[in-house]
């Protein structure tokens, strides 16, 4: 009786050796060796608060190409440089509104950073503390270290796409407002919170009808795929707290298709200040 069991075990090892490389490509982590800040945008002027009760504050969502570990995130990890040369530490740095485990690419800095009418303005932010992070889908958290400072986009600017990546089943299966249809799923991350322009409600059919995911096929042809649906909607009770993510629920794609970009037309979404988006043609940079 022992011999057949051993044969089965040996066979299983062989199968795993040959199957693993393909499976890692489909379900493993994104190939992103270096952490980076993607954007820092002045979101609101005097319109938000911190959990300690302070109100009438400004916010700057900061987006990263990595997931940032919530337990490593402290307000003193960030500095905001103002146009008059002064430096502020935010009273709070939140993983909110994007607060799901597969949405950890944004830290929302909240505090008194400036005044859009009379100045000063927030002009740059830098990471000065010991954040930890990992590429989406990776297992172990790593120290991030200091990152180069990045300019803060003005309050009047509209939201823009900062990242797009194929959601791997290992982190997407438990997502409560995930795609309920389709065979491929793409996370589209923007610089700022998103609602429909100009109503400020959660986005609907016009946004879903305009998004396209661009794929390059093994024969070098590029195809533009319309989503069957857009998911990650109704993140919170009020649309003011809608986060900066959409999930594109796509049909099953041809074998070997590689995500190369995402497009959407102008004036379909707005940020919490009511500013609309420009037409977007976001390019996925390999290994970024």
Nearer to Ca ion, 234 or 283 (CB): 234
3-state DSSP assignment of residue 105? coil
Q: How many residues bind Ca ion (CB under 5 A)?
A: 10
Q: Footprint of Ca ion on residues 84-143 (CB under 5 A)?
A: 100
Smallest separation (angstroms) from Ca ion to the CB of 19: 29
Interface map 266-285 toward Ca ion (x if CB under 5 A): -----x-x-x----------
Q: Is the dihedral of CA 175, 178, 180, 185 positive or negative?
A: negative
Q: Does 16 bind Ca ion (CB under 5 A)?
A: no
Q: Does 58 bind Ca ion (CB under 5 A)?
A: no
Q: Footprint of Ca ion on residues 220-249 (CB under 5 A)?
A: 232, 235, 243, 245
Which residues lie closer than 8 Å to 29 by C-beta, 6 or more apart? 134, 135, 136, 137, 138, 139, 168
Q: Is the peptide bond before 146 cis (omega within 30 degrees of 0)?
A: no
Q: Helix (H) and strand (E) counts for the chain?
A: 3, 22
Q: Where are the alpha helices (DSSP H) in 95-228?
A: 169-172, 205-210
The residue range among 48-56, 68-76, 176-184, 204-212 that interacts with Ca ion, by the rule CB under 5 A, is 176-184
Q: Which tokens belong to 117? A: 């009418």
- Cβ count near 175 (within 10 Å): 18
Q: Which of 175, 211, 225, 257 binds Ca ion (CB under 5 A)?
A: 175
Q: Does 177 bind Ca ion (CB under 5 A)?
A: yes
Residues that bind Ca ion (CB under 5 A): 100, 175, 177, 232, 235, 243, 245, 271, 273, 275
């Amino acid at each position: 009786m022992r011999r057949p069991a051993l044969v089965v075990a040996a066979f299983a090892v062989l199968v795993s050796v040959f199957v693993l490389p393909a499976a890692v490509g489909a379900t493993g982590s994104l190939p992103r060796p270096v952490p980076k800040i993607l954007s820092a945008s002045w979101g609101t002027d005097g319109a938000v608060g911190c959990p300690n009760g302070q109100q009438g504050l400004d916010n700057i969502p900061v987006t990263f190409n990595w997931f940032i570990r919530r337990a490593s995130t402290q307000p003193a990890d960030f500095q905001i440089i103002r146009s008059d040369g002064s430096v502020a530490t935010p009273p709070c740095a939140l993983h909110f509104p994007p607060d799901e485990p597969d949405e950890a690419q944004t830290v929302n800095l909240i505090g008194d950073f400036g005044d859009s009418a009379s100045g000063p303005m927030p002009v740059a932010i830098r990471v000065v503390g010991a954040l930890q992070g990992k590429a989406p889908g990776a297992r172990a958290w790593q120290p991030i270290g200091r990152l180069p400072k990045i300019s803060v986009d003005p309050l009047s600017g509209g939201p823009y796409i900062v990242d797009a990546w194929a959601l791997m089943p290992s982190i997407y299966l438990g997502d409560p407002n995930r795609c309920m249809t389709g065979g491929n799923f793409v996370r589209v991350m923007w610089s700022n919170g998103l609602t429909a322009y100009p109503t400020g409600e959660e986005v609907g059919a016009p946004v879903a009808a305009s998004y396209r995911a661009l794929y390059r096929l093994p024969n070098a042809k590029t195809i533009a795929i319309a989503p069957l649906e857009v998911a990650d909607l109704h993140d919170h009770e009020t649309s003011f707290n809608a986060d900066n993510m959409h999930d594109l629920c796509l049909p099953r794609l041809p074998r070997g298709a590689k995500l190369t970009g995402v497009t959407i037309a102008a004036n379909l979404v707005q940020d919490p200040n009511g500013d609309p988006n420009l037409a977007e043609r976001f390019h996925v940079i390999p290994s970024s």
